[in-house]
Structure 1
């Protein structure tokens, strides 16, 4: 069970962080909330209940989103620091890093202009969830999730499309 959870962590951690950033969290807050969710998952592994979770990708996102939504100042789990563990260096930028950073910030700024529900549905959609699955995870009706996604797409298209030059009248 330990190995399967660690594989799940390797595959999903960065996706969960991206999901939370699409929901409006800054990177540090998204990483904190994702870590809290995975710690909760690890507790389930050690308690022997992890096998009872059917939709693990959805479950981890729901727990991470709850951690992100928790009002500031409420007690958060303080993780122990592991000494002697070599972590991979992920600080090397890939090709076109500056341009990708500008594009990512532009998209995140556009997502910030959506309502909370629109951001949540859009983030789940970007992670490959159907509208029905998103509705179930967020406690919405299927049609409401579809309408939120449609409205979010329309608003993002308007925000992110290049401005058309005004026609000159001489």
Structure 2
């Protein structure tokens, strides 16, 4: 079954985009974090990708995949910039919107373990945690579904070894 674009399912209005944003923003930030991007860069990259998506909302066939690709590329291009935003410039109501994406100590251990995986396993695990199936991941990264499942099995075993007490 092919996923339909949210704009095709519900109409192409601003409200539809706003709903898509609310449902996907923290997931994109989490995906980027799993991929090894620091938190501020991940948030900036996600926001930039959403801005670009808003301009092309009805044109993008697969907005979830498009967001991950665009935000990851943006993060890679901009990860070495060290711009500190003073907390006085962040409106409290905007800061609280994304509280659910802040990491607990346990989650930080898991993220660190995922970041330590080899690149292909890390990408597959990040997409799996983001709700993609092996078939979808296969299409997304251009490898056979069997390769995805094999890498996923290896990644899970590696994470189990790193995270469970001995």
Instruction: Place the TM-score, normalised by the shorter chain, in its bin.
Output: 0.7 to 0.9
1:8 Cα deviation after fit: 0.7
> After the TM superposition, which residues 136-151 of structure 1 pair with which residues of structure 2 at under 5 Å, given as runs?
136-151=139-154
Q: Which residue of structure 2 lines up, in the alignment, with residue 35 of structure 1?
A: 47
Q: Which residue of structure 2 lines up, in the alignment, with residue 12 of structure 1?
A: 24
- Structure 1's consecutive aligned runs of 4 or more residues displaced over 6 angstroms after TM superposition are 91-94
Residue aligned with 1:104, SS: helix
TM-score (norm 2): 0.75
1:144 Cα deviation after fit: 2.1
Gaps of 5+ in 1: 45-49, 75-82, 164-170
Residue aligned with 1:140, SS: coil
1: CA distance between counterparts of 2:46 and 2:104?
21
Gaps of 5+ in 2: 1-12, 82-88
TM-score (norm 1): 0.73
Q: Which residue of structure 1 lines up, in the alignment, with residue 109 of structure 2?
A: 106
Relative to 1, partners in 2 of residues 1:58 and 1:38: Cα closer, same or farther, differing over 3 Å? same
After superposition, give the CA deviation of every residue in 1:21-46 in whole Å (9 maximum; x if it has no partner).
Answer: 111112111111111211110221xx
After superposition, give the CA deviation of every residue in 1:93-140 in whole Å (9 maximum; x if it has no partner).
Answer: 89xx9xx72101111111121012211111110111101111212222
Structure with bigger helix share is: 2
1:71 Cα deviation after fit: 6.3
Q: CA RMSD in A?
A: 2.9
Residue aligned with 1:4, SS: helix
